[in-house]
Chains A and B, each alone.
Chain A
């Protein structure tokens, strides 16, 4: 860009301006060696030039620095939102675009400021045609409340004003905006209006310039004929749809009744009269945009140049979070960028399909909306940094949070309940330790440190370690005979118990994973039972002797206990399972069969073929009635949770009820028309006669 010195130009600039040109004699010689610098069109230098091709229009744009006074020219104001035009008697200051004006103060102007509303004061020569002569025909003034009679021909369709609530008169003399709007619309009215206008072909399009000044007049001309104006927004303006709706309601005076993606439905008001609408002068020229401060600073605030370059190099490897298509709808872009900032401090957006100016515009909007700092626009991507004073918008994690694993460090750092959670994950890993991956090892290491703080001095971390190492062995041993765990259990119980001391009682629900008593899981059941006992017996304060004295008889007792004691919440499902096994619908496989999945499949096929047909088909019918009775059923299961007898009888009742219902429903279906109509052999006319 040329950094020309302050050029003072009067408003009525001369058509020609001198600009450095080689004399005509030399130009011909040079044309052999150099590309023609002037425009390649054949030009007659000596013929009088049309003013459009004059140097004024063609020359390099000279910047005009804005003087300190508020108004560089009559009515043109430089504000924090770009240029605005002030006319006497106007309800608000006019701007070229009400939504897309950048929220920054312009630094310089590119041309002399002028009011673009009329042909009076413009530095550009008039290059258009003379306006057409006005038609002599006297057109009647259009009044929205005086509608043409419905049968009249040659009249374009007009929707009547309204909708009016029952008992309310239309206000013919509505003056202010609220009076024109009238009462707030009810839901039914809104639904009706929207339904009628969803599929209209008449719509206004809003693009990269957003809500322009002339669009206000267009909206009014839409409202002349229809109650609802449909505006379709595409491209840059959709990044901030809320602002668009707000500006529409302020400037035009309608009400946004429905928003769907990038489409806005604007209602004109119950008492809208086209005759008394506010008339704005149209903007006849598009004013050239002023110069705004740079979007991308080479070294943003709070960063050293090295840090900035390091961030930019990092950003080149970052995968973009999304790819923007040209003229798309980007309403979720701000939200996605905010979410992505939670994960990483840099965000990259792919703008390869957009215009460069659109890419910059989106960058500018994101800079204001997501507060962030733009780092670069290279390779047609936007690279943003969240800034040094960025705060996470996520609420602090709850206490019992399972799903966040150690891999998500950047989320974990911000937690409040760090200590609690880590101690718990250590314990869950002791309980359910899978293959000890390197991750888990260092987790254990980290967790130990935390536990060290919380544990009493006599229980050192080495005990935790030893128990952690031993326990996986215990849990993954398959087919251990019953007597063995009794020997190992005493050693297991004691190290684990002190750890349990510091557990919340709530933890026992998480660690208490019961399973169907079987050979394999007995060991688990045993250790869990002892854990359970230890956790529960905190109040009884017989922890130490309980842990220490684990004789073989005690172990056997606990084993017997856990085998016979089926928890109450499992009763229903287990009884159903037993019934299925008894009635032959289900088959229990032994361990050696489970190893090979091919074997399992073959067994399954063989078993399914051996089931009598009738039982299988019953399920779908009871499924539909079970679904219908779903809500009552689960309330019932909650209430009768504790009592074994009641719940089992309830299950049986359910079955009978289902069966009965199913049978009834079937019979009912068959009854209707069964004696009259042989199924499926009637012709359409006979059917119609029957049903009429």
Chain B
């Protein structure tokens, strides 16, 4: 119907008579067929800047899973940043995680108008896939809407990165998830950088250590930024703002 509404000026100019919108219908049959076929392009509103009032890109649910080890012993360790991020998101969005299903703790809620499942697998890290895979299947979440939040040793401490797809980078949790999803790697991820182990430290010991105080501060700021980023991702999908976010994060410590 907007087709007709915006085509009015041209047609009316052609006929040199003011056309009332109601009478437009029968006029349409006379000359508009030619016009309509030839000029659909002029009518569509092409916005280079997305309309802020528009709703989310897609209404299909998202499954945001944070990888980590359950229990108080592993609370606050480097390998558990995924849990911390998911906790943060739950707090910010007011979603309570109070359901146990498929070996994980989950909470159902929404960000804006998009339903969201927040999942914290309670199987240990190496078996996270067995918790997440069946959940995604049960709630019929498409693979491109499964967001995995995990720690990444290839990024410096406190740097976040959102990727559309990727590999596992020797992360046991990710490996298990990829295996359980039949080898599919095209799910988005949010990796939280924790830096390399210093010197010849054992990797596993490094991962199960808690953060130092300066690192803790960096991670806290990173978590805040990450929550914003997750919101943008869920509402807008992968767009220029995600690339910009990645760039900002990459150079956020580059100042003197």
Contact surface of A with B, Cβ cutoff 8 Å: 314-315, 317-319, 321, 339-340, 342-344, 346, 394-395, 397-405, 407-408, 410-411, 432, 434, 504-506, 509-510, 512-516, 518, 520-521, 524, 567, 569-570, 572-574, 576-577, 580-581, 585-591, 594, 596-598, 600-601, 603-605, 607-608, 616, 619-620, 622-624, 626-627, 630, 633-634, 637-638, 641, 654
Q: Are A608 and B103 in contact (CB under 8 A)?
A: yes
Q: Which of A394, A569, A572, A626 contacts B113 (CB 8 A)?
A: A569
The CA of A408 and the CA of B24, in the complex, are separated in Å by 53
Distance of B182 from chain A, by nearest CB (Å): 7
Contacting residues of chain B (91-114) with chain A, CB-CB under 8 angstroms: 91-105, 107-114
Once A342-B251, A601-B122 are accepted as A-B contacts, the answer to whether A616 and B134 lie under 8 Å apart by CB is yes
A566 CB to closest chain B CB (Å) equals 10
- 17 A–B contact pairs at CB < 8 A? A397-B244, A399-B52, A403-B229, A403-B245, A434-B92, A506-B52, A506-B53, A515-B96, A516-B108, A518-B98, A589-B99, A597-B70, A601-B122, A604-B122, A608-B100, A626-B137, A634-B59
A644 to B71, CA, bound (A): 39
Residue tally, chain B, CB below 8 Å to A: 73
Chain A residue nearest to B114 in the complex (CB): A569
Residue of B nearest to A432 (CB): B92
Q: Are B143 and A630 in contact (CB under 8 A)?
A: yes
> Cβ of A573: which chain B residues have Cβ within 8 Å of it?
61, 108, 115, 117, 139
The interface residues of chain B lying within 8 Å CB-to-CB of A403 are 225, 228-229, 231-232, 241, 244-245, 248
The list of the 9 closest CB pairs from A to B, nearest first, reads A623-B137, A619-B134, A343-B251, A586-B101, A506-B53, A601-B70, A604-B122, A400-B52, A402-B228
Whether A402 lies near B113 (C-beta < 8 A) is no
Out of B53, B95, B225, name the residue touching A516 (CB < 8 Å). Answer: B95
Q: Does B250 contact A (CB under 8 A)?
A: yes
A604 near B137 with CB under 8 A, answer: no
- Contact assessment for A620 and B122 in the assembled complex, using a CB-CB cutoff below 8 Å: no
A619 and B254 contact, CB distance less than 8 A: no
Q: Is the CB of B59 within 8 A of A576?
A: no
**Are the C-beta atoms of A521 and B94 separated by less than 8 Å?**
yes
Chain B interface mostly: mixed
A572 CA / B55 CA spacing, docked (Å): 18
Q: Is the CB of A634 within 8 A of B58?
A: yes
Which of B92, B114, B225 meets A405, CB within 8 Å? B225
B42 in contact (CB, < 8 A): no
Question: Chain B residues with Cβ under 8 A from A604's Cβ?
Answer: 70, 100, 103-105, 122
Q: Are the CB atoms of A513 and B94 closer together than 8 Å?
A: yes
Which chain A residue shows the least CB distance to B113?
A569
Residue on A nearest B250 in the bound complex, by CB:
A339
Given contacts A601-B70, A619-B134, contact A401 B241 (CB under 8 A): yes
- Closest chain-B Cβ to A405's Cβ sits at a distance in Å of 5
Determine how close the nearest CB of chain A comes to the CB of B235; give it in whole angstroms: 8
Knowing A504-B52, A516-B108, A619-B134 are in contact, say whether A572-B251 is a contact too (CB < 8 A). Answer: no
B99 in contact with A581 (CB, 8 Å)? yes
Residues of A within 8 A of B97 (CB): 594
Query: Closest B-chain residue to A347, C-beta based?
Result: B254
Once A319-B254, A339-B250, A589-B98 are accepted as A-B contacts, the answer to whether A504 and B53 lie under 8 Å apart by CB is yes
Report the separation of the CA atoms of residues A315 and B108 in the bound assembly, to the nearest whole angstrom.
49
Contact A317 to B256, CB < 8 A, known contacts A339-B251, A513-B94: yes
Q: Output the least CB separation between A299 and chain B (Å).
A: 20
Assembly CA distance A489 to B209 (angstroms):
45
A567-B113, A573-B61 are known contacts. Are A634 and B142 too (CB-CB below 8 A)?
Answer: yes
Q: Cβ of A342 and Cβ of B247 under 8 Å apart?
A: yes
Complex interface: chain B residues within 8 A of A623 (CB)? 133-134, 136-137, 181
**A402–B231 CB distance below 8 A:** yes
Closest to A507 in B: B52
Does A588 lie within 8 Å of B94, measured CB to CB?
no
> A607 contacts which of B58, B100, B137, B181 (Cβ < 8 Å)?
B100
- A408-B254 CB under 8 A given contacts A524-B94, A587-B100: no
Is there contact, CB below 8 Å, between B109 and A585?
Answer: no
Which A residue sits closest to B121, measured CB to CB? A604
- Answer whether residue B198 sits at the interface, using C-beta atoms and an 8 A cutoff: no
**A572 touching B244 in the complex, CB below 8 Å, given contacts A344-B254, A588-B98:** no
Of all chain A residues, the one with the shortest Cβ separation from B122 is: A604
Cα–Cα, bound, A121→B197 (Å):
63
The B51-65 residues at the A interface (CB cut-off 8 A) are 52-53, 55, 58-61
- Tell whether A516 pairs with B247 under 8 Å between CB atoms, given A400-B52, A569-B59: no
Question: Which residues of chain A are near B225, meaning CB under 8 Å?
Answer: 403, 405, 407
Q: What CA separation (Å) do A395 and B239 show in the bound complex?
A: 13
